[in-house]
Amino acid sequence: MEMNQEKLCTSKADVSSDSAYHCSTCHDDEEWSNTSRGRAKSRSLSASPALGSTKEFRRTRSLHGPCPVTTFGPKACMLQNPKTIMHIQDPASQRLTWNKPPKSVLVIKKIRDASLLQPFKELCVYLTEENNMIVYVEKKVLEDPAIANDDNFGPVKKKFCTFREDYDDISNQIDFIICLGGDGTLLYASSLFQGSVPPVMAFHLGSLGFLTPFNFENFQSQVTQVIEGNAALVLRSRLKVKVVKEHREKMTVQNGIEENGVVSTNIEKEVGKQIMQYQVLNEVVVDRGPSSYLSNVDVFLDGHLITTVQGDGVIVSTPTGSTAYAAAAGASMIHPNVPAIMITPICPHSLSFRPIVVPAGVELKIMLSPDARNTAWVSFDGRKRQEICHGDSISITTSCYPLPSICFRDPVSDWFESLAECLHWNVRKKQNNFAVEE
């Protein structure tokens, strides 16, 4: 939404009805809500209550600007920022709805896991025959011999639409996503959509379940509720990452003399910059790679140098990623509805360096320190690993395209239950290991 005027709203008379600026005091709450949260006519998600459940879900307070408080005293109010990344509502009010009934679903299955073959077949049969939906499946999933050689599954398999990662763009063809496996399947689903992400329903069929709240026993009724638009949502923020590399090209030098006859000792010549962008759900990890030396990187916050990380590396994570690598490195666990970015050092040389939590709207920049003795390596959700040299930079900020994850109950209860379950799972695993050793 564009803001046409930059002035404080002082009274009802000072703001015209067709102004792009609105606040909850100067205008009716319903009118302001419709203006600030308007959606396009295409398929989209709405954070407003689902149809038929308005009385049950009425809380619409936001966890950060411009709501819940936009007025200060009798005259002052907050000027609305048109570049606001995202409005995080009260988690209890985040509900799924559809502008049109969903017709296509992407089913993501963990590869090389025999225990998921039967649930995968049951789900696909239910979606195609019972709900008459178009099912998209990655081509390598159907190459599993247990699926390829199953004659009974053949008629269902012929109805599938297949795609290949990094070759086929399906971002505008999927209404919602179903994941079968562990947390890695949700990370993979996120990587397939570098823009707007359809709602994701994740079934817990893997080892850990921080991100997968659904059990598969009652999948028919649960999927039906999602198709009907009766489900809660948690908007998991993602990181928008831009990697800028100084591109150098090796020149052909014969006998140490270039074509123009000038003697050259440098066989690399800068010819431009290479820019790559990624959407990251968990974390960006910068580490020392195979080098035996400590990494030495500078971290900038909105253009200002805040620290130099000397150690094994640094983790920049979302609240969703706070329960992943960052937790193992000693960071706090943050609920996914908290708008924040975490900076966590990996085995820092300075014992005084502790994990930092910064607001979601800031921009971080990571570069090799001028006196760094070796290069660094960076990965994005454990993928696309690449080397970072002097002069290269990594810019990180909160993406305007969060991942809408469908909840089993509500965002608060699901997160705490998954946290308790995963912590108990680790305790039971240790107890079993001790029993085996004894």
Q: Which pLDDT tens digit goes with each residue over 329-359?
A: 999 999 888 899 999 999 998 877 889 999 9
111 and 224 within one domain: yes
* DSSP, res 91: G
| Top-confidence residue, 131 or 259 | 131
Report, as an integer, the average pLDDT of 208-218.
Answer: 80
Buried-state track 50-68, b at ≥16 Cβ within 10 A, e below 16: beeeeeebeebebebbbbe
Task: Extract the runs of DSSP E, i.e. beta strands, from 53-168.
Answer: 71-72, 76-77, 104-109, 134-138, 161-163
Look at residue 137 in the predicted model and tell me its pLDDT.
Answer: 93
Look at residue 105 in the predicted model and tell me its pLDDT.
Answer: 95
Q: How far apart are CA 353 and CA 347, in angstroms?
A: 10
Residue among 144, 175, 183, 414 flagged as catalytic: 183
C-alpha distances in Å from residue 343, one per residue of 255, 275, 323, 406: 49, 23, 13, 27
Concatenate the DSSP letters of all residues of 325-339 into one string.
Answer: HHHHTTPPP--TTS-
Q: How far apart are CA 119 and CA 108, in angstroms?
A: 12
Range in 86-90, 320-324, 361-365, 412-416 with the lowest mean pLDDT: 86-90
Instruction: Single out the residue of 272, 256, 252, 274 nearest to residue 264, CA to CA.
Output: 256
Q: How far apart are CA 377 and CA 348, in angstroms?
A: 16
Q: Are strands 356-359 and 364-368 parallel, antiparallel or unpaired?
A: unpaired
Look at residue 69 in the predicted model and tell me its pLDDT.
Answer: 61
Look at residue 351 in the predicted model and tell me its pLDDT.
Answer: 79
Tell me which residue has tokens 């390598």: 140
State yes or no: pLDDT of 279 exceeds 80: yes
Q: Could you tell me the pLDDT band of residue 273, with boundaries at 50, 70 and 90?
A: confident
Structure-block tokens of residue 186: 């949700």
Report, as an integer, the average pLDDT of 197-207.
Answer: 86
407 and 373 within one domain: no
Report, as an integer, the average pLDDT of 59-78.
Answer: 56
| Top-confidence residue, 167 or 425 | 167
| Top-confidence residue, 208 or 421 | 421
Q: Determine, yes or no, domain membership for 66.
A: no
388 and 411 within one domain: no
Report, as an integer, the average pLDDT of 155-167.
Answer: 87
Q: Are 411 and 205 in contact (CB under 8 A)?
A: no
State yes or no: pLDDT of 269 exceeds 60: no
Task: Give the domain range for residue 137.
Answer: 95-236+403-423
Cis-peptide, bond into residue 68, ω within 30° of zero: yes
pLDDT digits (tens, 9 = 90+) for 90-106: 777 788 999 999 999 99
What percent of the chain has pLDDT above 70?
A: 72
Look at residue 208 in the predicted model and tell me its pLDDT.
Answer: 60
Q: How far is CA 13 from the centre of its chain?
A: 42
C-alpha distances in Å from residue 417, one per residue of 17, 187, 409: 46, 20, 10
* 32, containing H or E segment: helix 29-36
Instruction: Single out the residue of 326, 102, 125 nearest to residue 201, CA to CA.
Output: 102
Q: Are strands 104-109 and 134-138 parallel, antiparallel or unpaired?
A: parallel
Q: Determine, yes or no, domain membership for 212.
A: yes
Q: Could you tell me the pLDDT band of residue 151, with boundaries at 50, 70 and 90?
A: confident
165 and 185 within one domain: yes
Q: How far apart are CA 258 and CA 110, in angstroms?
A: 54
Look at residue 45 in the predicted model and tell me its pLDDT.
Answer: 38
Q: Are 192 and 281 in contact (CB under 8 A)?
A: no
327 and 205 within one domain: no
407 and 388 within one domain: no
Look at residue 404 in the predicted model and tell me its pLDDT.
Answer: 92
pLDDT digits (tens, 9 = 90+) for 255-265: 444 444 444 33
Q: Determine, yes or no, domain membership for 44.
A: no
Instruction: Single out the residue of 347, 374, 388 nearest to residue 291, CA to CA.
Output: 374
243 and 380 within one domain: yes
Tell me which residue has tokens 């936001």: 62
Tell me which residue has tokens 């660094």: 376
Number of domains composing the chain: 2
What is the Cα Rg of the chain in Å? Answer: 25
C-alpha distances in Å from residue 386, one per residue of 151, 312, 320, 383: 43, 16, 23, 9
pLDDT digits (tens, 9 = 90+) for 108-130: 998 888 889 999 999 999 999 99
Q: How far apart are CA 287 and CA 216, in angstroms?
A: 38
Q: How far apart are CA 169 and CA 425, in angstroms?
A: 38
371 and 224 within one domain: no
Query: Across all residues in the chain, what is the average pLDDT?
Result: 77
Look at residue 54 in the predicted model and tell me its pLDDT.
Answer: 38
**Strand, helix or coil for residue 342:** strand
409 and 337 within one domain: no
Concatenate the DSSP letters of all residues of 276-311 into one string.
Answer: EEEEESSEEEEE-TT-SSPEEEEEEETTEEEEEEEE
Q: Determine, yes or no, domain membership for 75.
A: no
CATH code for the domain in which residue 196 is found: 3.40.50.10330
Q: Determine, yes or no, domain membership for 19.
A: no
Q: Determine, yes or no, domain membership for 379.
A: yes
Structure-block tokens of residue 341: 């970015």
CATH code for the domain in which residue 297 is found: 2.60.200.30
* DSSP, res 3: -
* 434, containing H or E segment: helix 411-437
Q: How far apart are CA 2 and CA 359, in angstroms?
A: 23
Q: Could you tell me the pLDDT band of residue 70, with boundaries at 50, 70 and 90?
A: low
pLDDT digits (tens, 9 = 90+) for 396-437: 999 999 999 998 887 777 777 877 776 665 545 555 554 545
Report, as an integer, the average pLDDT of 74-90.
Answer: 71
* Other CB atoms within 10 Å distance of the CB of residue 85: 18
Q: Determine, yes or no, domain membership for 260.
A: no
**Strand, helix or coil for residue 273:** strand
312 and 171 within one domain: no
102 and 232 within one domain: yes
193 and 316 within one domain: no
Q: Are strands 134-138 and 161-163 parallel, antiparallel or unpaired?
A: parallel
What percent of the chain has pLDDT above 90?
A: 43
Q: Determine, yes or no, domain membership for 289.
A: yes
| Residue 183 annotated among the catalytic residues of the structure | yes
* Virtual torsion, Cα 68, 69, 75, 78, nearest 10 deg: -90
